[in-house]
Chain A
Amino acid sequence: MRRKLAVLFTTLLAVTACGANTGSGGGAPASSAPPGQPEKVVVGVIPILDVAPIYLGKQKGFFTKRNIELDLQLAQGGAAIVPAVVSGQYQFGFSNMVSLLLAQSRNVPIKVVSNGNNSTGEDGKDFAALMVKGDSPIRTAADLAGKKVAANTLKNIVDTSVRQSIRKAGGDPTQVQFVEMGFPQQPAALQSGQVDAVFVVEPFQEQVLSQGGRKIASSYVDVAPQLTVASYFASNQLIGQNPDLVKRFTEAMQESLAYADSHPDEARQIIGTYTQIAPDVIAKVTLPKFPAAVNKDSVQKLADLALQDKLLDKPADVNALFL
């Protein structure tokens, strides 16, 4: 047993040694670089519309002029990003607010350092929607009692937001049944009748529309006006060790967000560089809003709803989540 374990560790060590020259982004948290040297910063993001500002900011040089050399790593989801930020593989990460509230409730040492993206706040014209098939008898969210709704992750932001839509429409939010399914699979599942409704973000909202689907609610809008859906965060360790870097990152993000918000055409253009979304779809999708500051009231509302739906077992200290 001992020898076998030793062998296993040797193998792991060998792998690590080989990975050192091929791997990218691994290693200790960035320490202060010597003056004049750009600091290499790894940020974990997801290949979706929401992170267009950071790509645009990188292209526009908002980070390099603050001595930050940005390395954007595409991860599959927030679930992979949070541990990588905590362990120092990434200096910053992108995640939705409910995931961050849940992480906080489990004492994961992270803090929000910049806004990410917000809902448009316009009912029926948001970048995400609760949708049904064109010929579905479901007219409003209140009709979802006992129905199956696809959610990309169970017990997360989709859960909270859809329940709020049902509540607002006068239905019973406890009677809906969620089925876990990635966004890419949802249009097909809706079409084939495996689920009665889906909650999709762009570009899948556009795909469901093109198949004759119908929006019944803009759930992010139902939660709060201009809801902050996601944000960029760092580990408390990095914030303690290198507050200057965090400050420069936050400033660069604010400039990037403001630029993306006022130049939607350039934001659309940059989306084509890090996703595979077809150009004609990019032209049609509804973009999120990119305010420079987090809408803390909306996060408080989200935390209250998460508590009500029993995602959180105790009230969240929302202010403590922000730097």
Chain B
Amino acid sequence: MRVLLGLAGLVAFGALLEVVPRIGLVSPDFAPPTSRIAAALGDQVREEQFWVALLDTLRTWALGLVIAVLAGVVIGVLVGSVPVLRTLTASTIEFLRPIPSVALIPLAVLLYGSTVTSTLILVVYASFWQVLVQVLYGVADVDPVARDTARSYRLGPVATVRYLIWPTTLPYAVTGVRLAASVALILTITGELIIGSPGLGKDIAIAQASGAVPQMYALVVVTGLIGVLANLATRSAERQVLAWHPSVRAEVPV
């Protein structure tokens, strides 16, 4: 039922975008009706270039996300577990976190040209904070009684992380990953669009520079679809990873 309603919403939205240019509210030259965008998309998927660009985008996105998640989790657990470090870095993190990744584009281009590396810097910078901050909160949320118990049993550092910190942090980290996944996708497309590294974003820029408006919107639709799929994927991964957790275990009232 929910899926049906969701689809109905999408269809209604598509119909609205079909009607608005047709009745002349906006010029169809600049905002083509849905049917023309769909036709342009149909042409695109028959071309090899489209699939190459799609793979490039997915690869940059996945690579950036993996780096950001690994760095965020490792550094988050480390910094969060040592109170001195936590205090020492708190203001620095709050200072660096709101800096928009896009502001780093000139620096990245200067260092690495219009390459995938430049885009990856943006992606990692933006999504790293999403994971790091969640992990820091997670580490801080460890139950004091459990912590004292672990200390009484003289758990070593590795065992402490594995049996005490990690189970508490995991739900936070997973939320961080879900947030990071969409941020990473946005920055991947933005980087390709502005820096010109290979991928869908670059093709959007080329279509725009060519005045090929329906083709441009067709590619924009594709990036939206990737976003939906990415969110579905991270949500299903969340359910699997946290199958034991009360927030996911439906049979236990929380």
Contact = CB atoms under 8 A, between A and B. Distances in A.
Interface of A: 1, 3-4, 7-8, 10-12, 14-16, 18-20, 22-26, 42, 44, 46-48, 73-76, 80, 83-84, 87, 89-90, 182-184, 187-188, 191, 203-204, 206-207, 211, 274-278, 281
Interface of B: 27, 29-30, 59-60, 63, 67, 71, 75, 85, 88-89, 92-93, 96, 106, 109-117, 120-121, 124-125, 128, 193-196, 198, 202-203, 205-212, 215-216
Shortest Cβ-Cβ A-B pairs, 6 listed: A89-B113, A19-B117, A276-B212, A276-B210, A23-B115, A84-B113
Contact of A8 (B60, B96, B110, B112): B96
Chain B interface SS verdict (over half): helix
A74 B206 contact: yes
B67 to A, nearest CB: 6
Nearest to B44: A276
Contacts of B106: 83
Contacts of B124: 11, 15
Nearest to B66: A18
Given A3-B89, A15-B120, A75 B196 contact: yes
B210 A80 contact: no
Given A15-B67, A18-B63, A23 B116 contact: yes
Contacts of B198: 24
Nearest to B93: A4
A276 B207 contact: yes
B114 A44 contact: yes
8 contacts: A11-B67, A22-B117, A23-B112, A47-B206, A76-B195, A84-B109, A204-B211, A276-B206
B211 A184 contact: yes
B121 A12 contact: yes
Contacts of B193: 76
Given A15-B124, A80-B114, A275-B206, A74 B196 contact: yes
Nearest to A85: B113
Given A19-B117, A75-B196, A47 B67 contact: no
A84 B114 contact: yes
Contacts of A1: 88-89, 92
Nearest to B27: A191
Contact of A89 (B93, B115, B202): B115
Highest count of chain A CB atoms <10 Å: which of B109, B125, B195, B202? B109
A12 B75 CA distance: 14
Contacts of A184: 208-209, 211
A278 B112 CA distance: 33
A323 B143 CA distance: 71
A238 to B, nearest CB: 14
A26 B71 contact: no
Nearest to A188: B30
Contacts of A83: 106, 109-110
Contacts of A80: 109, 114, 195-196
Nearest to A206: B211
Contacts of B96: 4, 8
Nearest to B204: A276
A15 B117 contact: yes
A87 B212 contact: no
